[in-house]
Chain A
Amino acid sequence: MKPFQPVVGLALVAMLLSGCASSKGPSADALQAAHDSFQKAREDADILRSAPKDLIRAGESLARADRLASYWGSKDDVAHYAYLSLQYSAIAQQKTQLNLNQERAAKLELERQRLQLALREAKLLSVQDQSNWLEEQMVNLAATQSERGLVMTLGDVLFDAGHADLKASANRTVLKLVQFLQLNPRRTVRIEGYTDSRGDAQENLELSRARAQAVADVLIDLGIEAKRIEIKGYGERFPVTENASAKGRAQNRRVEIVFSDEQGTLGSPR
């Protein structure tokens, strides 16, 4: 190795001393910037939640820079750790923003799906002639036009024997009913329960009423206003067929739904 020239030695000494001479230098600025950035990040609850590790590292680096700032001749190290702290704070901030964006996107995605469904339904309605569509729905609901108005019958199979709870197999029918009522907000319904003639007449009356009530409860749960629904239990009165055979009895055990006209006027009960 070539021996150092005196001038090189002087230059080195000058450089070292100049480092100490001014306490307000680039490293002090860097340290201050790192402090400001860390302080801001630490007070942000979202950052604490989303990027705690990066925040901790920003704090550790900053503490190291602070410690080194009190030593002689460590300006470069101070600047270095201040820089690392600054970058960690910036990373924490970016990760937090990313997290917030992702949370927001998840909410918007749900909103998008909801709107898409609503649009699909609305389009379906707009292509089909409204009245035709209603008619079709009524047919789908297996409704019959009688002197009492439109009547839809829920068969015995939708209930367990002797029980008033609606079975899951009734869901489809009930949903159609709800959809129909939502699309026809002025129409009201009367839900009528009927049983066969076996067993105690009083018990049958109560069972028929309980079954009508069960259907009404489901409608209300699905968003139909209670005041649009009437309940009636008829027990074993008004059979649709004879009670002598099992088949006949099954047909007599039923819930009928009577629809009002478009003005909301229901035929009077039997």
Chain B
Amino acid sequence: MIYRLKLLEHGRVPPESGPARQAYLLEIGRSALELAEVEQTDLLAALALTPPFPILDVSGDHEADLLAATRMRADWDELKSQLPAEVLEAHEQAARRMTKLAVEALNFLEDTELADRAHALVDSTALLSSGLYGCKLWVEDGEVWTDCPIRMSHVRWGVSLEMTTEWGCSICNERFDVCPHDPSTEYEVTTTHATGSCSICHEHECEHEDGTIVAVRPFPTTLSISSGATAMVARPRYPRARATAMTLDIPADTPLYRQAEEGVLFCDQCRQSCAGLRELDWETPPLGS
């Protein structure tokens, strides 16, 4: 099994622990949660749909589950057939976005009192998105890949980088540990984007205008990174540092593989009843079969 991972993000590093981290997680997570809920409400209203929706309750009896899956797909086809195709198509992006926002909310809120709400939203938005639009599997480098939001989010693990980092000063770009700039003092800096990032906030996109002078406190920025190692962890510092896609165990000489190559193979994971979130378990592989 191969994973595609998001390791780091541009910009400032999230707080490691303590109340500052809790506030950071809550601020971003709550925003994503509320936005996803609004998007879901808007989508249901636009398509005049009302839950409950067809879902597969997995019994463990292989034959019975195959029949139930066929019925579930037929029920979704029936539901979709009642919707005008152009209306359905017009809302696909919003449906995908709402699911991504719900997963984002869970990634930030998993240890808060909003965790259950975020989890329920992942399940309901993924069901709706998958049921209406499907989650197409694809072939790349001889493997069948999926970016299924349910598979990615229901085993709680992420990625931690261990890096030897040389830190520079956000003002003078010299080594932060030896330059004279004091992190508790404000310095006047002229805004420029000449290096590709802002001299004030070091973001690629921001509202600081070139030529304006801004009082800023210096902070460490990355000058160079070496000897990186990657570890699977239960709680990554960057809440988005997680698997973004994974391969499925579908051999190349099978009909399923050929269907994936032709772009007609879809993942049904989001349309199955939820078995709950799982914490990282070293005894079994992550995102196990």
A and B interact: no
* Chain A interface residues toward B at CB < 8 A: none
* Chain B interface residues toward A at CB < 8 A: none
